[in-house]
Amino acid sequence: MSREKTDGRGARPSLDGCCVLVAEDEYLVAREISSALRDHGADILGPCPELEMALRMLDDPDRIDGAIVDLNLRGRLAIELAEALQGLGIGFVIATGYDASILPPSLCRVPRCTKPFNFEQMIQVLHREIVRETRH
């Protein structure tokens, strides 16, 4: 899969051929994240508004290249999802309004994008995490 693409303004992250899990319970936010990812060539898995739905997506982890994870999915912390992604070696970004202090030590080094989101920055960070994880 292509990892970089030039768009006339210089190199920008390309997610062509990448399947990205979106775990977000706010409809409009999920739509905006999905749209930004599609604009960079990604295929979307979800959006998953509930923790159980997102965890079921991990039944076939080979189809998932990366993920955007909101920490609060309908009132439930998605720590289990984040740790499962980490354990599978899937690069992801935590998208949240929560402070880092809510994270267990195992997730403190996972990149976070805080609300309100800068979608271009989110894509760049996710791209970096996907590339980093595919090197292992």
pLDDT digits (tens, 9 = 90+) for 26-42: 999 999 999 999 999 99
| Range with the poorest average pLDDT among 4-8, 14-18, 35-39, 114-118 | 4-8
CA pair distance 71, 90, nearest whole angstrom: 17
Residue 85 near residue 111 (C-beta atoms within 8 A):
no
Retrieve residue 25's tokens: 């319970």
- Tens digits of residue pLDDT in 60-95: 999 999 999 999 999 999 999 999 999 999 999 999
Yes or no: say if 49 and 30 are a contact pair by the CB < 8 Å rule: yes
Q: Are 96 and 112 in contact (CB under 8 A)?
A: yes
Of residues 59 and 99, the one with the higher pLDDT is 59
- Would you call 4 helix, strand, or coil by DSSP? strand
pTM of the model: 0.87
User: Domains in the chain, ordered, with CATH?
Assistant: 21-134 (3.40.50.2300)
